[in-house]
């Protein structure tokens, strides 16, 4: 069953919003693409494929990115965060995103410590 023009437009709009919001939020945290991909566990080729519309992000990836930035899936897919922020309409907190980034960084550090401890027979 093929999509209607309206459904195709909505899908393209959500995809565009996702990419645009991802870039805006990444820059807002002053992270390079390499840093954020490392934090999220994505490869650069994944981003390239998304950006070139060769593939779409899976639902679990969209959810993970939204959680990383401390926003809802609805927000990352349906809204233009940068435009809303400029117009003073945003419901997005830079502080919350920074806290989530710190949390993800701490969790990654704890995983590395846990991994390294296994070599010293420390439990």
Q: Which domains does the chain have, with CATH numbers?
A: 5-120 (1.10.260.40)
What's the CA gap between 121 and 11, in Å, rounded?
Answer: 50
pTM of the model: 0.67
Q: What is the pLDDT of residue 14?
A: 85
Helices (H), ranges, 1-123: 5-28, 33-40, 44-51, 59-69, 73-78, 81-86, 94-117
Position with higher pLDDT, 5 vs 79: 79
Q: What is the pLDDT of residue 18?
A: 92
What are the CA-CA distances from residue 48 to residues 15, 27, 70, 111 (Å)? Answer: 14, 17, 24, 28
What's the CA gap between 66 and 75, in Å, rounded?
Answer: 8
pLDDT digits (tens, 9 = 90+) for 72-111: 888 888 888 888 877 776 555 555 666 666 666 666 666 7
Q: How many CA atoms lie within 13 A of 65 on its CB side?
A: 25
């Amino acid at each position: 069953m093929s999509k209607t023009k309206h459904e195709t437009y909505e899908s393209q709009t959500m995809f565009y919003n996702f990419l645009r919001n991802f870039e805006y939020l990444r820059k807002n945290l002053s992270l390079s693409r390499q840093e954020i991909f490392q934090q999220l566990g994505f490869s650069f080729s994944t981003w390239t494929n998304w950006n070139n519309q060769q593939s779409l992000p899976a639902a679990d990836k969209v959810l993970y990115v939204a959680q990383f930035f401390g926003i809802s899936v609805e927000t990352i897919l349906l809204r233009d965060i940068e435009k809303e922020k400029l117009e003073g309409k945003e419901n997005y907190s830079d502080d919350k995103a920074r806290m989530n980034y710190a949390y993800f960084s701490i969790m990654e550090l704890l995983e590395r410590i846990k991994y390294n401890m296994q070599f010293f027979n420390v439990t």
